[in-house]
Every structure is written in C-alpha cells, then in structure tokens.
Structure 1
Amino acid sequence: MTIRYSAAALAVAAVFPHAVLAQADDESVGATMVVTAARMQQRAEEVLASTEVIEREAIERAGHSTLIDVLRTIPGVRVASNGGPGSNSSLFIRGTESRHVLLMIDGLRVGSATSGQPTLEAIPLAMIERIEVLRGPASALYGSEAIGGVIQIFTRKGAKGFRPSVFAGYGSDDTRQINASVAGGAERLRYSLTLGEDRTRGFDARTDEVTHDPDRDGFRNAFASANLSLGLRERDEIGLNLYGSKGRNWFDANLTYDSHLDKRLDSVGLYAINQLAQGWRSTLRVGRSRDRLDNRSTVGEPSQFHTRQNQFSWQHDIDLPVGTLLAAFDYVKTHVDGTTAYVEDERTVKAWLLGWSAKFDAHSVQVNVRRDDNSQFGGKTTGLFAYGYQIDPQWSVRGSIATAFNAPTFNQLYYPDTGFGGGNPDLEPERALNREVGLRWDDGMHSVEATYYDNKVRDLISGWPPANVDEARLKGLELAYRVDIGKLAVQVGADWLDARDEATDKRLVRRAGKAAFLRVDHSIGAWSYGVDVNGQGHRYENATNTQRMGGYGLVDAYVHYRLAHDWRVEMRANNILDKKYELARNYATAGASYFVGVRYAPH
C-alpha cells in the first residue's frame, strides 16, 4: 500500500520537514511518496525496499480497534498476543524476532531496553496520521534493532485553516472509544491536539483449565498528542512534538489473585530545519522517549521496568549533480531503572551515517554505510547496497544486499542472578545478512509485485542464562496485486515464509509458513463498504515443534454511511464466522464482534 502526496503526507513534516518545504517547486507534487526507506523523501517508483504506507483515511475506513490489528494485515508480518486489546503482543517481520523491529514515533526511537520489544499494544490509532512499515534490514540507516524492519508512526499534524474532529463508539465486550482532535494553522503557524480514551471489559484471556482465573481481562488507555510548528523563512522551520499514553491491562496470573500491567509511553521532541544553502538542507532533532511497565497484583510487591532514551540527531541532505548525499550523526543515551538491580543501568550509542541515493536514466541506486559506537560492546559497521532498473514504463526490477545487527538487551546482559541464572555481560550483538530481489508491474490501474528474500541471522541470543548459540535462516516470497477501477479497489496478497533454526532444522516459534489476504473496498453515494479476508497456516508454540497451533481464516466487514456533509456513522463486524483460534498457546482471541461509532469531521 502506498500513499498519494496529499494532506495526509504532510504528517512527515515533523520528521523530514525539508521534504515538505521543498514541495512547491518539486515535480513530486501529486506523486506517491515514501520517506522511511532512505531517511529522505523518495518517489515510490524510486524506492528500492519493500515499504507499506497506511494513511489516516485507510485507518478510519477499516475501523480496526488496535495498532496490532492494522499491522497484522501487512504481507510478511505475523503477530502473537497474550489475550485481547492491550495484552502483551509480539510482532515478527519476515520471521525475525520482536526485538528485531525498530519502532519510531515522530522520529524518536521508542521501546523497552530491558525486554527489547516495542510496546505496540499501548499506541492508540486515534493519534496516528500515517504509518510506514519498512520490511527488511535497515541497520545501515537506523542502527540496532532494525534486523527485521522499521515501523515509523507519524502523529496527527496541523494544517491550514481549522479542522476539528470528534469520534465516539461502542461495541462488543463493553468496548468504548472516544476521542477528539483539532488541527489548524494560519500563515506559517501549524498546530494540532488529540485527546482520547479507549477501554473494554475484554474477555477471558486464558483457555487452559488449570491455572487461569475465569474472569474478563480488560484494558483501558488514555492518551494525548500535540504538535506545533512555525515557519521562520521560506524553507526554515522549528517544531515541537508531544505524545503520551497511560494504559492498564488485566491478565490471569493465578487462580487466587488478580494481576494487571500498567503501561506508559511518552515522548517529547524538538526539531529545527534550515536551508543552509541552495540544495543543502539541515535537520536537527533533540528529544526523549520513555517506556514504563509496572507489573502489579493483589498480593506481593510490584515489579517495575522503566526505560528512558535521550536522543539527538543532526542530518544533512546535499543535492549533488547526480543524486543526493546523506550525512548524519545520531546519539542515544539509554537509562533503565525499576525494581531490578541491574549490574549496569546505562549505555550510550554514537553513530555516523553516510548515504547516496540517485536516479539516472533507467537506473536507481542507494548506498548507505553506518558506524555505531556502543559503550557496551564497542563498534559495529553496517552497510546497504540496492539497485533498481526500469525495464519499460510498466516493468521494473530491483535487488539489494544489506547487513544488520541487534544489541543485547539489559535483561540479556545484566539481569541479576535469582538462583536460576542471570544475564551474560559477554554477549555479542546478533548479526544478519539479507539479500532480496523484487519484480514489479504497474500500468496505473493494476499493479503486481513479487519479492523474494533470504536473511541469515547469526549469533542469535537464546536460553537462560542467555548465550550466542543459534543461527536462523529466514527465506520467503511475498506477492501482491492491486486494481483500482473507479470507486472499487481490490487488493490480494500472499506470502510464504520458511523461518528455521539452522542447528535443528526446526521452524521458529509462532511463525506461520503461509499467509494470504483479500481486501475489497467500494463506495456509492453516501455509502462506503468493504470486506477483509485474512488467513494464516499452522504454527508451533515451542522450539521442538511438538506443540502445534492450527491455521485460521477470518472475515471482517465494514459499512460507513454519511448522514450529512460533516457526519458519518461507522459500523464494523470482526470475525464474522466466529472462528476459534490462538495466536499464542492457551490464550484466547476475540470471537464474532461488532463496533458502531459516529464521527463528526467538518471539511
């Protein structure tokens, strides 16, 4: 899925503002744009990586309740959740681990440095303007964690005029959503503010009959985001991004007592954009993100795991006679605290990045080299080379080779010995080498794309105490087809994944070997409606492949009706066939459910 350069595309302004500032005299106006694949704006046909872009309009149309629900519809992505909304969730891009996925919000790294996993379940959809998902290694651009890919979220931004929006809805399991936003601007000032709360009584998350407490496991999450920007001159800009969410997820820990997880995410970022000279743009960013998890129960003391990341980035984009030169410096200081007494609780990463992207005649090239200096284990250099060729106006082919790495987490390195072993300070980073090739045909109405990848991950960390013992081979094929005929849009996709432990030749846990989807959207008059069909093959819950979880197929549908120019009723039915399935062994998923909402959004 890609996005047209429209009001939604302005969401990238707070992260790559120079790209937007340059639009007035750039031929890219009206074209399909992507920014994550090279840390700079590119036309879609010039992107040499698999990138999915989901804009605000598509999020509202589909009517999904959570970010996890949105991401699970993307080819090459697998998810696992320990229950309903708000429960701990894992996301696997092209078979890699959850800790191999980098999460960014408005240009800042976000996530837990103790577990290494992004807290995707705590991010509400109401605050999102745009999502970009880069599938494939990107350490040469972003450093550690980006072995499997990058998820970049842009919160809602300001726009000229005054645009309020209010939404309220109710659904199965006493699910309630309410949020309001306002966006506007005048002259060179832009602002936006979003507030809301999601809550549900949920359902009984556990399915085993021995250890679970038979009750509803609910979730609530309050959130806010704000953005402010000011244009100082024609191509200079300063801005502020704020985001915060505070949620609670109840779960079954024991028959005799109740437990819940308090999850809090927040970030604050300042940026400055300067046109230093003709064709030379500077982006300076400083910010902080926090990920705080408190595990509480009616008995015993709570356990707390808190991460704070102070960040600084200075990026230069310099137009050359052929292509664009990228030069950047990234700095991240990570601190962890809580109830666990880690041997070390702080680390610093300094990174230098060089890149060159160019398109000349029918050829496209991207080269990136990055050097990360980590205070825990020293230096690591990663690289990326990608090449594309436009065979004719419809056909194009691309290929790439890239290295990537993932630094060990604080738990893996420094968790204290509690009698069952502790962290291992001698761990080395996990390393990856990825090769892929893609073929695309696009005539403006129809598009077909096929991508084959082969990613070998070495020094995988596993076991307890943890050690660098494993190697994994991740091979797969992704196919996608789309057609747009008037107000009818049809998307079909399928992917095959062979993710195996090289030593045992066993499949990695919770990775389905096959997945497919069908999405049909249509509108007529005041009505808009659509159907989603998603299916995945069987998976295994354990490394020995003896605990098999069956495959499943889900059918969802939505109907929207515009009552008036500014008012719309939105209805959605999920899992219409009431399929019983598991994403994690002994954890339930939602059955057939409905949700109805009303949206007020003046145009």
Structure 2
Amino acid sequence: MKKLTIIFTLIFNLLAVSNVLAEEVEESFFIFEEVVVTASRYEELLSETFTSIEIIREEEIRERSVENVGDLLRDVSGVNINDNAGASGVKTISIRGSASEQVLVLIDGQPINEVQGGGIDLSLIPIEQIERIEVLKGPASAIYGANALGGVVNIITKRGTLDSQTTIKAGFASFDTQSYNLSHYNQQGDLGYSLNLNKKSSDGHRENSDLDQKNLFVRFDYPLSDSIDTRLSIQYDKADKGVPGSIQSASPKARQNDELLNLNFQGKRRTDNSDFKLTLHWRSDERDYKDPTWSTDDNHKRRRKGVNFNHRFYLQDHTIVYGLDLEEQKVDSTAYNEIYQLTNQAAFIQNKWSLTDDFIFNLGTRYDRHEEYGSNLSPRVGFLYNLNSNLSWYSSVGKAYRAPTFDDLYWPDSGNPDLNSEISKSYESGLRYIGDKTKLDFGVFYSHMDDMIAWVPNPTDENPWRWTPDNIDSAKIKGIELSFDKDLSGSLYSNFNYTYLDARDGDKERLANRPYHRANLGLSYNNKGTIVNLSNRLVVGRKDLPSYYLADFKILRELTSNAEIFFGVNNLFDREYEVQAGYPMPERNYKVELIKRF
C-alpha cells in the first residue's frame, strides 16, 4: 500500500504542475460538448440528457491503442469488464452491478446480444471500425425494451470520407501475438464507403488459450435525395480459440469456433420539423464447442432478425419520438430437443418537454408483447434543470426488465418455460458540469430488482447434479459515481473516475465480483506528433477475491507525416491478479505496432 500511495502522489503532483510542460499549443484536442444518440434514439446534446452517459471518442480510441471493445470500456466509471483473461478469454460487461445479460449492446442501434444466453463477448469486436462509443448507465427499457435493465452500450461505426484514406497496421506482442489491420475510407460521387479487415493470432498466456480471429466490416452510405439517406453495413467474424476454463476445473483440450454474419440497412428521411428512420437487420451466428475431457460436442445456430421504425417531430416546446419494434429470434442447438423460435412486438413513445429555457421534462414508456413470457410495460420519467450555462441537475426514475433467455426457458431437463421477466425499479440523480476545458459528473443511483432468475440445485434420482432456473431472487444495488475530465494545458489531459457500489441479494449477502470501490486515473499528453498515455486502475473490496492495482503505459510517435509507431506495456508493475475467480490475468506484457497511412 505504501508503494501505491507513492505512485498516486507522484501522478497527482504531475497533474498539478502540468501547465509548465506545454505552454504553446494552438488548440485543445479535447471536446466536451457533444451530440449523443443513445439516450432517446435521436441526436441531442449531451448537456440536455437526463441520464448518465459517457462517450469514448475516436481520438481516445486511437491514443489508448487497445484491440477490442472489452479492453476499451474497462476504465469507464460504473463499468466492470468480467474478463476470463488473455487473448481467448471471454469479456462481458456489467454496469452498476448488473449481470452481463442485463446490458444491451448495440452496433449502430442494432442489438447484438446473443439470443441463446443473453450476453455478448466484447473481445470479438475490433476497434478499428469504431467512430465512438456511447455508454448509457442505468435502465433504458422505456426506449430499448428487454436486456436494457442495467444500461446500454451503443457502438457507432465510421463512414466514408471525401478524401481517400487508407491505413495499414502491423502489431507484434507478447505470447507470440500478431495483429494486422487494413482500413480504407473513400467517397465516389455520392457513395461513401468504409472497409475494415482484421486478423489476429496469439498463443495465449495459458495452456490452450490460443486464438485465431478474422473480422471484416464494410459500410456504404448513399443519399437518395437531399432529404433521404441510406446506409448498408455488412459484418463477418470468425474465431477459433482454446477454452482453458478456470484453474480449478481446467479444460486443456476444449475448443470453440464462432462464425458470425450481420446485415444492417437503415433509411432516414428528414423534413423541416421531423425525421423518419427505418432499420432492417439480420444476424446469424454459429458456435461449435468440443471438450473431449467431458465428451461434449455441441453446435449452436442462432438467428435474429428485426425491423424498427421511429419518427421524431417537434411541436412547439415538445420533441416527441415514437416507434415500433418487431423482432424474431431462433435457436437450433444440438443441446436442445427441438428448434425454438420466438417473436417480440413493441411500441414506444417519449415526450421531451421544454417547460422553460432551463427546465426539461421527459416522459416515456414502452410496451412489449413477447410470444412466450407475456407483456411488459416500462415507463420512465426524468427531468433536467440548468442551474447555469455550464451546470445542470438531472434525475430519473424508471422501470425496466430482462427477458428470460432461450437457455433459461428450454435447456433440456432444466429449462423453465414458466419464468417471468426480471423487473427493476431504478432511481438516479446527478450534477453535470460542462465547461470549456472541464467536465464533471457526480451521481447517485439505486435499483431494486425482483423476480431475478437464479439457477439453483434441483437434483433428481436420474440427475443428482441438476440445476434449474426460477424467479426466486432479488437484489438491491446502490452506489455513487464521480467522473472528472480536465484539459490541463491543451496538450495535457487528465481523467479520473470513482465508483462506490453496494450490491446485495435478498438475503443481504453481497453479490460476487461487485467491488465496493473502483477508481481509474488517466494522464494523456498529446503534442508535436507524440501521444503518451498512462492509465491506473484500482479495485478494492471484492467479496471473494483480493484487491488489485494496475498501471498501463503507452506511447504513439509520429515518424513521418503518414507513418507512426506505437509501444505499450500492460500490467506495468507485473501484478498477479484475477478479474474472474480462477482465471489468472497475463503478467507484464508488451506490444509494438507500426502504422502507415496513404
């Protein structure tokens, strides 16, 4: 702890004297006031949202030089990445103590959570195609329906550019890890397009933790007229990896293959006081899992297709958005006795009412009708009051739900088709300050969840190890969040966030892997072709695992006007730690990357 205190003291002293380090910089590289789309499913200023939202911009993604979305989100306040360690380890997300199945993950507004188990492996999503990420913390079922009980992560992709841009990256890292990327952006006439190709391979830091991954993402943007825009994106992913399991129950021969194809079409029409948006999406993924040790050989084919329509219009002091969602999900799994297919229909409406220039009131609700588990109504009320031009107070209260997954409903000899949805009532209040070079967000939150789905022992004579799901659990989650971003000199930028979380079940026992305290401190220097980034992470007060502190160091240096070199060290002080019990994280490791632009 003494070393930890010294390290943090040195960092804060660096921040205090930072103005001396860079006195002549023309303009800041940090922008606070931004437009977001996730809070209401349409564009609005961050300063006018009535819930807590964090944005990771393209510049931040570039300077941090991580390889996937899971690594990118781990330093966001209120977010915990459940990491099974290493290149092949699954990375899922928890927001404010939620389960990973309770967080809705979107790409350009399209849900990408697995329909069979409800979660999503963020390690399989590369970052090169991403323009920015918006993280909405807290319930959002009033707009997005099921699986938005804990929050929403919206990944927004890049579009083509007027000037042709091509980038090639080649990276070499510890554990014989190699990564290659080709990115191309251009516009021919009215047609804009972007292309991203990725390939990554690694031996991994444990036995049977190797990875071979390929990704393709293509996006086309074409305006049919001055008021109508269309977009088509195609995504293909393939991954072959070892699945080593936990050190307590290792699976040294288990293998997993994932293959994904995703299509997304969007059309948008604008008028003087309204806009219409239509989205059609289709997603197919297949997983093969083999473990000779346990004679397991399963194949899972999942399909998800849907259509969404929403219309936003203005009426005096009101901004009203309403829409319809129709989605069909299908699972064909060798683990099941038959093929299952379910549909969900939904309608939502939200009214953002500017009562005065400084007071905004928001009321919304959504009605979902599911073929299997019935209907859910998810209302939400919020308001925002501008105390002055920079400082606002926001609060919201809402009801949200998480639908049972296919595994919950139909797993052979265990599934429970009579399950109800998990229900949450959540409250949030906070202060947000947005200045020219400073952003501060402080908030408190509380959630009470009922009918939580828990898998519990339910043995039979034929199967003494049988577990089944039931709506038997509840939870109370409360916490405090603080995030502080500061542009110290135009070239030196610091960010700090802290989360206090108290998550307990119905018996007042603490939920596993929900630490009391999480703190992140980052320092970035960007000037004259050099970007230096130092990040620090402290996790304290977990139920079953010890606390840990980590530091990562990264530097990106411009060699010529169109060439760069990157060097990074993860786990700088070579700590031994686990994020998930039984999954030791990699020791100190290194990466070098060469970047060439044309």
Tell me the TM-score normalised to structure 2 length.
0.89
Tell me, in whole angstroms, the C-alpha distance in 1 between the residues paired with 2:597 and 2:52. Answer: 33
Of 290, 309, 312, the match for 1:317: 312
Tell me, in whole angstroms, the C-alpha distance in 1 between the residues paired with 2:316 and 2:337. Answer: 52
Of 351, 368, 373, the match for 2:369: 373
**Deviation larger for 34-43 or 83-92:** 83-92
The answer to whether the 8 Å contact 1:430/1:460 transfers is yes
Say if 1:104 and 1:256 are closer, same or farther in 2 by CA, change over 3 A: closer
Q: CA deviation at 1:341?
A: 2.2
Tell me the C-alpha RMSD between the 2 structures.
Answer: 1.8
Counterpart check, 1:408 vs 2:393:
no
Say if 1:430 and 1:600 are closer, same or farther in 2 by CA, change over 3 A: same
**Shift >6 Å, 4+ stretches:** none
Q: CA deviation at 1:106?
A: 2.2
Partner in structure 2 of residue 443 of structure 1: 435
Q: CA deviation at 1:350?
A: 0.6
Amino acid at match of 1:404: A
Q: Report the secondary structure of 2:372's partner residue.
A: coil
Tell me, in whole angstroms, the C-alpha distance in 1 between the residues paired with 2:517 and 2:274. Answer: 46
Of 479, 488, 492, the match for 1:488: 492
Q: Report the secondary structure of 1:70's partner residue.
A: helix
The answer to whether the 8 Å contact 2:345/2:368 transfers is yes
Partner in structure 2 of residue 178 of structure 1: 180
Amino acid at match of 1:282: F
Tell me, in whole angstroms, the C-alpha distance in 2 between the residues paired with 1:256 and 1:387. Answer: 51
Alignment of 1:299-314 (within 5 A): 300=295, 302-314=297-309
Q: CA deviation at 1:216?
A: 4.7
Say if 1:247 and 1:519 are closer, same or farther in 2 by CA, change over 3 A: same
Counterpart check, 1:470 vs 2:473:
yes
Partner in structure 1 of residue 228 of structure 2: 236
The answer to whether the 8 Å contact 1:104/1:152 transfers is yes
Say if 1:30 and 1:488 are closer, same or farther in 2 by CA, change over 3 A: closer
Tell me, in whole angstroms, the C-alpha distance in 1 between the residues paired with 2:188 and 2:32. Answer: 23
Partner in structure 2 of residue 455 of structure 1: 447
Structure 2's unaligned 5+ residue stretches are: 1-30, 456-466
Amino acid at match of 1:498: D
Alignment of 1:139-288 (within 5 A): 139-204=141-206, 215-252=207-244, 258-275=253-270, 277-288=271-282
Partner in structure 1 of residue 560 of structure 2: 564
> 1:467-515: CA deviations, max 9, x gaps?
101110010100011111211111111110001002x211111111100
Partner in structure 1 of residue 535 of structure 2: 532
The answer to whether the 8 Å contact 1:56/1:128 transfers is yes
Q: Report the secondary structure of 2:118's partner residue.
A: coil
Tell me, in whole angstroms, the C-alpha distance in 2 between the residues paired with 1:239 and 1:319. Answer: 25
Partner in structure 2 of residue 382 of structure 1: 378
The answer to whether the 8 Å contact 1:78/1:512 transfers is no
Q: CA deviation at 1:107?
A: 2.2
Tell me, in whole angstroms, the C-alpha distance in 2 between the residues paired with 1:426 and 1:344. Answer: 18
Partner in structure 2 of residue 335 of structure 1: 330
Tell me, in whole angstroms, the C-alpha distance in 2 between the residues paired with 1:361 and 1:177. Answer: 51
Tell me, in whole angstroms, the C-alpha distance in 1 between the residues paired with 2:128 and 2:353. Answer: 36
Alignment of 1:54-93 (within 5 A): 54-93=56-95
Partner in structure 1 of residue 345 of structure 2: 350
How many equivalent pairs are there? 551
Amino acid at match of 1:226: V
The answer to whether the 8 Å contact 2:97/2:503 transfers is yes
Alignment of 1:13-24 (within 5 A): none
The answer to whether the 8 Å contact 1:435/1:453 transfers is yes
**Deviation larger for 54-63 or 173-182:** 54-63
Of 478, 482, 486, the match for 1:479: 482
Amino acid at match of 2:444: Y
Q: CA deviation at 1:526?
A: 2.4
Alignment of 1:111-130 (within 5 A): 111-130=113-132
Structure 1's unaligned 5+ residue stretches are: 1-28, 205-214, 541-547
Amino acid at match of 2:153: I
Tell me, in whole angstroms, the C-alpha distance in 2 between the residues paired with 1:266 and 1:216. Answer: 26
Amino acid at match of 1:596: V
Partner in structure 1 of residue 416 of structure 2: 424
Of 418, 421, 434, the match for 2:426: 434
> 1:220-270: CA deviations, max 9, x gaps?
210000011111111211221111211122123677851111122331011
Tell me the TM-score normalised to structure 1 length.
0.88
Alignment of 1:96-135 (within 5 A): 96-135=98-137
Q: CA deviation at 1:111?
A: 2.1
Tell me, in whole angstroms, the C-alpha distance in 2 between the residues paired with 1:486 and 1:90. Answer: 35
